Amino acid sequence: MWLLGGCGCSAILLVLCCGGVSYWGFSKATGVLGDQLKKEVADNADVKEQLGQIQSISMNIMETAEEKKNRNDASNWMVFDASGTEGDGKFIAEMPPGGSGGSPFGKIELRTEDGKTFQIK
C-alpha cells in the first residue's frame, strides 16, 4: 500500500515539476519576443500616433492560432496585445523560416481597437 502511495506522490510531483518548468520557459521565451518586438516598433511614427509610448506587450495565444489559420502560409504568425499611453492595439508579426536579416520578424502590422491596420515593417 505504501509503495503505491509513494509512486502516486512521485508521479504528481513529477508532473507538477515538469509542468512548472515548461510554463516558466514558455513565458520567458514569449517575453523575450515581446521585448524584441517592442524595440523594433517603438520609434515608428504610426505606433507613436496610435499607441503612444508602449507600456506593455504580451503574446495572445488564442489569436495567434487564429491568425496562423487565416494566413495559411509557411510563415509563423504571432499576435501580441499592446497597451500604450494613447491607446491599445495588437501587433501581428510574421516569423518567416530562417528569420529576416538578423531579426526574427518579417512583416509587422499594427491593428488598432477601431479596426485600422498599419504596416509597420
Q: What integer pLDDT is reported at residue 104 of this predicted model?
A: 80
The tens digit of pLDDT for each residue in 61-95 reads 889 888 888 887 777 889 999 999 999 999 999 88
Q: What integer pLDDT is reported at residue 70 of this predicted model?
A: 86
C-alpha cell at 115: 479596426
pTM score: 0.74
pLDDT band at 23 (very low <50, low <70, confident <90, very high): low
C-alpha cell at 34: 515581446
Q: What integer pLDDT is reported at residue 88 of this predicted model?
A: 94
Q: Lowest mean pLDDT of 11-20, 34-43, 86-95, name the range.
A: 11-20
C-alpha cell at 36: 524584441
Percentage of the residues of the chain whose pLDDT score is greater than 90: 33
* Residue 105 CB-half CA count within 13 A: 22
Q: Judge whether residue 97 has pLDDT over 70.
A: yes
Location of C-alpha cell 516598433: 41
